[in-house]
A and B are shown apart, each in its own frame.
Chain A
Amino acid sequence: MKARVDIDKIAKGLGAKRRGRVSVSSGHFGAAQLVAEIQARFRVPTGGGRATDPSWKKKRLVPLKEQTLSRLERLAHDIERKRQIHIEPMQVAAMLLERTLVDITEEDAGEIVESATNENRPER
């Protein structure tokens, strides 16, 4: 069983910023594998600035409700203020989307789409 700790509190105590989750396993091979993952995903651009995730190569135009964008802007603003991480609203959206996709089942995704479609259908 993995230990549960308050990672926000620990990050604050260390003066560190949270970058993202990684797969960690024990032993020499686990250590080498982790180096490869960290170097590939979180390398710091020369000249400083926020680490980028180089796997973010695809761009799509996603239509959003105005309140959704406002919520993302507020989240990005709060994150920047409280954690001193500069982040754009759509970067927040991409991270939330990637995190959700890891956990969600096909069935749950289908139910969400069906429910949203019904909500948006004009009443007869």
Chain B
Amino acid sequence: MNGQPLSSEVRRKRLLVVLFIPSVERDGFTEIDQDDWVDEALDLFGRVFGGATAYPRAKGVWRDDENAGRLVRDNPVVLHSYMEPEAIESPENQALLGAFCRRMGRKTNQGEVGLVIADEYLAITDFEEE
């Protein structure tokens, strides 16, 4: 087995993009069809960016101090995708990913949809169709 193509592939696919797929609506308790959204996201990342891994959800809770200390439970699935930097720099790919995030935000009634690209947390809050 020739090791060269593998190491070259690893070097090229060095940018990590993370997408958070929520488990509940922004009210903190109305559950969404998380599994369907995970499948759709995997399809998109597979098709457009060459692959992705969705990690089993971790249970999370946080206290909403602006709402009488109500406990909000959100157990997002985290999707990791390693890609070539050029893949996320492509305007066409950005349009596809942006459209998916806006649709997910709109359909699942989110306050924001979160992504991490190159160690930077990015939030999409405007879910209007373009």
Contacts and interface: CB of A to CB of B under 8 A. Distances in A.
B126 A34 contact: no
- Interface magnitude class on chain B: 35 or more
Nearest to A43: B62
A4 interface: yes
Which of B66, B88, B117, B124 has the most chain A CB within a 10 Å cutoff?
B117
Which of A1, A23, A46 has the most chain B CB within a 10 Å cutoff?
A46
Contact of B66 (A10, A18, A47): A47
Contacts, number: 127
Contacts of B20: 35, 38
Contact of A14 (B26, B116, B118, B124): B124
B55 A28 contact: yes
Given A5-B15, A5-B118, A31-B78, A46 B66 contact: yes
Contacts of A40: 62
B52 to A, nearest CB: 12
Interface string B26-67: 101000000000000000000000000001101010101111
Interface string B86-122: 0011010011011001100000000110111111111
Interface in A67-88: 84
11 contacts: A2-B119, A4-B85, A5-B118, A6-B89, A7-B118, A7-B120, A14-B115, A19-B122, A21-B121, A36-B58, A47-B66
The 8 A-B residue pairs with the shortest CB-CB distance in the complex, in nearest-first order: A13-B94, A44-B111, A31-B78, A16-B122, A3-B15, A31-B55, A14-B98, A32-B58
